[in-house]
Structure 1
Amino acid sequence: MEQTQGMADETRHPMTGNRLDAEAEASGPGFETHDYDVVVIGAGGAGLRAAIAAHDAGARVAIVCKSLLGKAHTVMAEGGAAAAMGNLWPDDNWKVHFRDTMRGGKMLNNWRMAQVHAQEAPDRVLELEEWGALFDRTPDGLISQRDFGGHRYARLAHVGDRTGLEMIRTLQQRAVALGIDVFMEFTVTELCKADDRIVGAVGYWRETGRFVVFNAPSVVLATGGIGRSFQVTSNSWEYTGDGHALAMRAGASLINMEFVQFHPTGMVWPMSVRGLLVTESVRGDGGILKNSDGERFMFNYIPDFFKAETADSVEEADGWYEDKKNNRRPPELLPRDEVARAINSEVKAGRGTEHGGVYLDIASRRDPEFIRRRLPSMYHQFKELAGVDITQEAMEIGPTCHYVMGGVEVDPDTQQSSVDGLYAAGEVSGGMHGSNRLGGNSLSDLLVFGRRAGECAAENAAKHSNERAAVPDSTATAAADAALAPFAEEGGENPYTIQKDLQDVMHRLVGIIRKREELVTSLTELEELKARAEHLSVEGNRQYNPGWHLAIDLANMLIVSECVATAALEREESRGGHTREDFPMASDEWAQINLVLTYDGESVGLARQPLPVMPDDLKELFD
């Protein structure tokens, strides 16, 4: 293959160092090649932690990311990282955290992943502190921990409401100090196999359109979620389901894809920022939800599962309810799925705000100094984008597509998929959160399973050190040809039109409340979109061409959207992030079943799979 390194006529981007090759268009696909032990796709918390772990295990590592280093969506995670450190509540421990996580996921979680996460999260947070993360402190100098929905104890280690940003800053600084290679503004279009195992990947520089081949026996997917398939989302532009689709095309399976979490609180006004996340920390620090009548409505939506048995357990005047353990808790800190459904019900009943949301009020509960100190990002976000001073008035908020619990089916200890050499960590992997993720578990999930994925990927690479297979020329050429196809199509569809129609289908028919007729219709309309997407046209050349980038992303978005709709139609119950209007109750039968999805190159296949059996000693925690 052609090597483009060292070409005399190349210049480099002043910020990224990526090649700006004036001959890229004329030279056809053209490949530069790189050899690594481990290639990590994604530079968020999971990707960076995996890369650091693989490097520390002796592997030659490359990080590949669609945007600039430091811009990954993890920076938007505000509340904190859940870890049972016991700094505020000495009774907190991994068993309580494990139980909270399983209950939050409505017991559909992979128990082993939930156990590993709860046991290892404290060490991963302390490790971040050792690397320079500046967490908020208790008066005694320990890492401070805040309350969050679904957690029995306050256990989120945090940095104001900018925890994700601090995590990325710390991990990025360490990765750079270790000298790990980073390929920024780069899209991976295909994972490559030989003899049924991973041998590398093919992708292209987003700046120049020049194609690159990575030869590597281990690939770690850390690409995040799928939110850009929905109309209203808190997710960044990168979240187009790339890792999910890459894994499926390589032969891996997905699990739990029907479970899409709609975060209860996203901005609803102005339209330019609709869906932008309003951290759960606002409610954790005392914020309450009100409808347009001024009623604090969450007391009307406390499930019996969470309430104490006594008839007078709800003390609305005092602002609390008593849970099964007789702990007094605000109803705003119920799990996210419960809060999102409650808000959706209030809006549908005509008690919503002018712009279709509800009010989140912390101004009447805390003084301005406290709000500005504890929630600096929220204060500036609303002040600058919506003209709202949250120390003086309530915020207009509503549910926004936030997180997908489903993802690549992985081994709970190694994070390897069913494809030899392919690993996944973070939001792109499935199983850990069951049907609903508790707030704060995502950041500790990134650390725990990012580390495990990196270590195991490096171990796999060492195992194949004497039998390295390269990406076949024919495979690389086929991947490049497929990516370039929209340039050859004349008079075809505009990628932006199909993306808009896809988001409309998912919003209307596969949203927060679902029913059979709409899901059947969604699959029909998705088939029509897939047929239209076979004839995409893009204009211009390969340099800086966002229409071309979207055309490639659309293939991934359509596969993943079909997975969500297919699984949502199959699961005839309501559980966690999946609510069926025609099956409003959780089912004992479905409580024992995971849905697994595969892809044959044309359509999505589905199979039912029994849950892994939890050991008796862990079952006793729920007695």
Structure 2
Amino acid sequence: MTGNEMAYYAEGGIERHQYDVVVVGAGGAGLRAAIAAHEAGAETAIVCKSLLGKAHTVMAEGGIAAALGNRWPEDNWEVHFRDTMRGGKMLNNWRMAQLHAQEAPERVQELEDWGALFDRTEDGLISQRDFGGHRYARLAHVGDRTGLEMIRTLQQRAVQIGIDVFMECTVTELLKAPSAQGEDVVSGVFGYWRETGRFVTIEAPAVILATGGIGKSFKVTSNSWEYTGDGHALALRAGASLINMEFVQFHPTGMVWPPSVKGLLVTESVRGDGGVLRNSEGKRFMFDYIPDYFKAETADTEEEADRWYEDKKNNRRPPELLPRDEVARAINSEIKAGRGSPHGGIFLDIASRRDAEFIRKRLPSMYHQFKELADVDITAEPMEIGPTCHYVMGGIEVDPDTEVSSVTGLYAVGECSGGMHGSNRLGGNSLSDLLVFGRRAGEAAAAYASGLAERPAVSEEAVRAGEWSALAPFQVEGGDNPYTIQQELQQAMNDLVGIIRTASELKDALTRIEELKERAAGMGVEGHRQYNPGWHLALDLHNMLLVSEAIAKAALAREESRGGHTRDDFPTPSPEWGSKNLVVRLDDSGAGVDLVEQPLPEMPPELKKYFEES
């Protein structure tokens, strides 16, 4: 057996290992957290649902937001902080937004020190590009493959320093045990190898969840198959809380044709490099959708917007570079008004604005993606695009400095954590978020584990309970097919909890989710544990249904429109709702969720001044 020398097989054939820190997820957040924990002296392991290097972080193509000041010396962490808070409509945890803006430049430089090959400016500095909602060009990038380069660099670093990796292994339970003080604390994780179906228990006093998002609960999504809300649901069942779950970001630009790739991401870099949005009449329609609070910074004529690319100091930004929630709603409105493209989207045009050499150099992945998948040459014709479920701003509620949840020993980073982005995430902030808080979580988890006088023990009862729960679908004969339930859930979430919401549709969604939960309790799977994707989906569905209920229930409660949450029956932001968050916890039955309102943390005066002056 390779890896940790403490590994052994217990009676009953359940594989067991022991570490100080276990990181669940091998995207940017998980890898950075594992590196930090290992470098702090903790025996560390990574558990990932897919293969190492296949994390969804590779789909973050545009760049890493950090106020390096390489393009604009005027840029600094204060401006980045202000942009992030404004983009999140002031519902962000101010401390997380502050730490993120302050520490992102150092994390990017660190990535370069580890071998990341960024594009360069004329002076040889890390190049930075424009993205929606950012006052200055501040996204460090590698063409339109930044996420891939980030994963390559972090993965290489993790392997180089000797971190153990459990690939194609799914965690189904967080294990807890009483501490010396009598409180239930984290004691490890229980899961199974996807190939063989064999169970594995990993004992660890500190667990970092870095499992990504919830997009596979929606029919049209840019998310990969792993994004089934595992971390959100694991944390809920362990006793942690979720925050901001009503805020789901629909990226403005996903592919709409052919059907086999509907929802696949089209990077914001296309608009950052000059692409414009047009309806079926050829009109550049975004000028009709500039919100009042951005009018002072946004061009209101085509001539002014076009001059911005040549003389950015003296002209206002194109409306295509408004925050993602604003652009997605505008596109949705054009489609609903009957001005959409032949396949139900609108047109994204860079061909008429940039020469072919520029497009192939700056957007090589997009050029290849459309050529191979849609037979469209983006250097010669426009792309058909439309909104796609892309990111959830909501996640596990954590301490902003250490990323620890309300459950001792349980940490969360990346998309499965909440608070940092408020009601809407700015493009590029996701990758710097992973780096900044991944490092902080890894260091905090290592410090906690090393400070324990006695490690919490994993009980055989907890292990057997995890085993019984995982095997339950095999005990059902003639039960519902998990694929049918998944399809019905995705359709319901797409139709009723999508980009525009109403009370009646949200109530309908909750009713359907309850019905699906009842059917899921009687799901049956056939065959054996080896190579059984139906079984894998049956286990994932319990997470998807729980998280979908949290989203729909929070969306019904928040009677306003803000960021990634738009209510047709409450179309404007509310000052009352602008001062509080919704927190979701598991209800007494253990099968559903309850909501409580929670006031926003008070921002200190030295930070408030950035908004009072604007």
Same fold, TM-score > 0.5, yes or no = yes
Residue 517 (structure 2) pairs with residue 530 (structure 1)? yes
Shift of 1:86: 0.3
Deviations 1:359-406 (A, max 9, x none): 000000000000000000000000000000000000000000000000
Shift of 1:317: 3.6
Residue 280 (structure 2) pairs with residue 297 (structure 1)? no
Task: Indicate the residue corresponding to 2:610 in structure 1.
Answer: 621
Task: List aligned pairs for 1:123-202, cutoff 5 A.
Answer: 123-195=106-178, 196-202=184-190
Q: Which amino acid aligns with 2:244?
A: N
Task: Indicate the residue corresponding to 1:457 in structure 2.
Answer: 445
Task: Indicate the residue corresponding to 1:263 in structure 2.
Answer: 251
Q: Which amino acid aligns with 2:125?
A: L
Task: List aligned pairs for 1:369-448, cutoff 5 A.
Answer: 369-448=357-436
Task: Indicate the residue corresponding to 1:11 in structure 2.
Answer: none
Distance 2:277 2:460 in 1: 58
Shift of 1:316: 2.6
Distance 2:488 2:133 in 1: 35
Distance 1:140 1:321 in 2: 24
Task: Indicate the residue corresponding to 1:83 in structure 2.
Answer: 66
Q: Is the contact between residue 320 and residue 331 of structure 1 (CA under 8 Å) also seen in structure 2?
A: no
Q: Secondary structure at the match of 1:369?
A: helix
Residue 87 (structure 2) pairs with residue 99 (structure 1)? no
Shift of 1:447: 0.2
Which one of 488, 492, 512 corresponds to residue 505 of structure 1? 492
Distance 2:579 2:306 in 1: 33
Residue 591 (structure 2) pairs with residue 602 (structure 1)? yes
Where structure 2 has 5 or more consecutive residues not aligned to the other structure, the ranges are 4-8, 179-183
Task: Indicate the residue corresponding to 1:120 in structure 2.
Answer: 103
Q: Secondary structure at the match of 2:541?
A: helix
Deviations 1:523-559 (A, max 9, x none): 0110000000000111110001000000000000000
Task: Indicate the residue corresponding to 1:315 in structure 2.
Answer: 301
Q: Secondary structure at the match of 1:558?
A: helix
Where structure 1 has 5 or more consecutive residues not aligned to the other structure, the ranges are 7-15, 17-23
Distance 1:443 1:208 in 2: 33
Q: Secondary structure at the match of 1:364?
A: coil
Shift of 1:471: 1.2
Distance 1:314 1:41 in 2: 46
Residue 45 (structure 2) pairs with residue 62 (structure 1)? yes
Shift of 1:610: 0.1
Residue 461 (structure 2) pairs with residue 474 (structure 1)? yes
Task: Indicate the residue corresponding to 2:6 in structure 1.
Answer: none
Distance 2:528 2:11 in 1: 12
Shift of 1:321: 9.8
Distance 1:321 1:110 in 2: 36
Task: Indicate the residue corresponding to 1:545 in structure 2.
Answer: 532
Shift of 1:327: 4.5
Name the Cα RMSD after superposition.
1.7
Deviations 1:288-314 (A, max 9, x none): 00000000000000011101299xx62
Q: Is the contact between residue 332 and residue 339 of structure 1 (CA under 8 Å) also seen in structure 2?
A: yes
Deviations 1:216-240 (A, max 9, x none): 0000000000000000000010000
Q: Secondary structure at the match of 2:348?
A: strand
Q: Secondary structure at the match of 2:506?
A: helix
Task: Indicate the residue corresponding to 2:601 in structure 1.
Answer: 612
Distance 2:359 2:431 in 1: 23
Distance 1:119 1:414 in 2: 16
User: What TM-score do the two structures reach when normalised by structure 2?
Assistant: 0.95
Q: Is the contact between residue 67 and residue 101 of structure 2 (CA under 8 Å) also seen in structure 1?
A: yes
Q: Is the contact between residue 188 and residue 205 of structure 2 (CA under 8 Å) also seen in structure 1?
A: yes
Distance 1:190 1:307 in 2: 49
Q: Is the contact between residue 550 and residue 584 of structure 2 (CA under 8 Å) also seen in structure 1?
A: yes
Q: Is the contact between residue 314 and residue 320 of structure 1 (CA under 8 Å) also seen in structure 2?
A: no
Q: Secondary structure at the match of 1:212?
A: strand
Distance 1:413 1:573 in 2: 30
Q: Is the contact between residue 104 and residue 335 of structure 1 (CA under 8 Å) also seen in structure 2?
A: yes
Task: List aligned pairs for 1:266-281, cutoff 5 A.
Answer: 266-281=254-269
Q: Which amino acid aligns with 1:315?
A: T
Deviations 1:464-487 (A, max 9, x none): 1x3012211010101111010001
Q: Is the contact between residue 268 and residue 275 of structure 1 (CA under 8 Å) also seen in structure 2?
A: yes
Distance 1:53 1:221 in 2: 14
Q: Secondary structure at the match of 2:292?
A: coil
Q: Is the contact between residue 321 and residue 329 of structure 1 (CA under 8 Å) also seen in structure 2?
A: no
Distance 1:205 1:104 in 2: 40
User: What TM-score do the two structures reach when normalised by structure 1?
Assistant: 0.94
Q: Is the contact between residue 321 and residue 331 of structure 1 (CA under 8 Å) also seen in structure 2?
A: no
Shift of 1:169: 0.2
Q: Is the contact between residue 305 and residue 316 of structure 2 (CA under 8 Å) also seen in structure 1?
A: no
Deviations 1:504-536 (A, max 9, x none): 110110000000000011101100000000001
Shift of 1:30: 2.8
Shift of 1:111: 0.1
Over the matched positions of the two proteins, sequence identity in percent amounts to 76
Distance 1:449 1:120 in 2: 9
Residue 197 (structure 2) pairs with residue 209 (structure 1)? yes
Shift of 1:339: 0.2
Taking structure 1 as reference, are residues 307 and 444 closer, same or farther at Cα in structure 2, changes over 3 Å only? same
Taking structure 1 as reference, are residues 540 and 148 closer, same or farther at Cα in structure 2, changes over 3 Å only? same
Q: Is the contact between residue 132 and residue 320 of structure 2 (CA under 8 Å) also seen in structure 1?
A: yes
Q: Is the contact between residue 426 and residue 446 of structure 1 (CA under 8 Å) also seen in structure 2?
A: yes
Deviations 1:213-267 (A, max 9, x none): 1110000000000000000000010000000000000000000000000000000
Distance 2:305 2:93 in 1: 35
Residue 236 (structure 2) pairs with residue 241 (structure 1)? no
Q: Which amino acid aligns with 1:582?
A: D
Task: Indicate the residue corresponding to 1:43 in structure 2.
Answer: 26
